[in-house]
Amino acid sequence: MSTDKQIFARRESEARSYCRNFDTVFTKAVGSEMTDTEGKTYIDFLAGCSSLNYGHNDPDMKQALLDHVAGDGIAHGLDMYTAEKAQFLEAFEKKILEPRGMDYKVMMTGPTGTNAVEAAMKLARKITGRRNIISFTNGFHGMTMGALSLTGNAGKRAGAGNSCGGLCGVTHLPYDGAFGDGVDTLQQIEMMLNNTSSGIDKPAAFIFEPVQGEGGLNAASTEWMQGIARLAKEHGALLIVDDIQSGCGRTGTYFSFEGTGIEPDLITQAKSLSGFGLPFAALLIKREHDIWKPAEHNGTFRGNTHAFVTARVALEKFWSDDTFQKKVQEKSVMLTTGLQSVAEIVPGARLKGRGMMQGVDVGSGELAGDICARAFEKGLIIETSGADDEVVKVLVALTVSPETLRNGLEILREATQEATQNHKIAAE
Residues 305-364 that bind its own copies (CB under 8 A): 306
Asked whether 385 and 315 are in contact (CB, 8 A), the reply is no
Cα–Cα distances in Å, from 101 out to 196, 266, 289?
A: 37, 15, 17
Question: CA 214 to CA 391: how far, in whole Å?
Answer: 10
Only one of the segments 153-161, 248-256, 330-338, 394-402 lies at the binding site for its own copies (rule: CB under 8 A); that segment is 153-161
Closest CA to 344 of 427, 419, 413, 418: 413
Binder among 99, 166, 363, 379 for its own copies (CB under 8 A):
166
Residues 51-80 close enough to bind its own copies by CB under 8 A = 51-52, 56-57, 62, 65-66, 69-80
Closest CA to 122 of 155, 89, 152, 144: 144
Q: Which is nearer to its own copies, 107 or 371 (CB)?
A: 107
Question: CA 83 to CA 62: how far, in whole Å?
Answer: 18
Only one of the segments 131-139, 327-335, 346-354, 405-413 lies at the binding site for its own copies (rule: CB under 8 A); that segment is 131-139
Contacts of 94 (CB under 8 A, 6+ apart): none
Question: CA 97 to CA 77: how far, in whole Å?
Answer: 25
Backbone angles phi, psi at 93, to 5 degrees: -65, -45
Binder among 32, 53, 135, 399 for its own copies (CB under 8 A):
135
Smallest separation (angstroms) from its own copies to the CB of 251: 18
Strand partners, 266: 240, 285
Binder among 223, 234, 288, 296 for its own copies (CB under 8 A):
296
Q: Which is nearer to its own copies, 166 or 418 (CB)?
A: 166
Residue 365-394 contact track with its own copies, rule CB under 8 A, x = bound = ---------------------xxx------
Q: Does 401 bind its own copies (CB under 8 A)?
A: no
Q: Does 227 bind its own copies (CB under 8 A)?
A: no
Cα–Cα distances in Å, from 229 out to 236, 264, 266?
A: 11, 8, 12
Residues 191-210 close enough to bind its own copies by CB under 8 A = 191-192, 195-202, 204
Q: Does 126 bind its own copies (CB under 8 A)?
A: yes
Asked whether 207 and 133 are in contact (CB, 8 A), the reply is yes
DSSP 8-state symbol, 288? G
Q: Which is nearer to its own copies, 66 or 333 (CB)?
A: 66
Q: CB pairs under 8 A, 24+ apart, for 179-185?
A: 185/224
Residues 229-258 close enough to bind its own copies by CB under 8 A = none
Residues 84-103 close enough to bind its own copies by CB under 8 A = 84-87, 89-90, 92-93, 97
Q: Which is nearer to its own copies, 197 or 428 (CB)?
A: 197
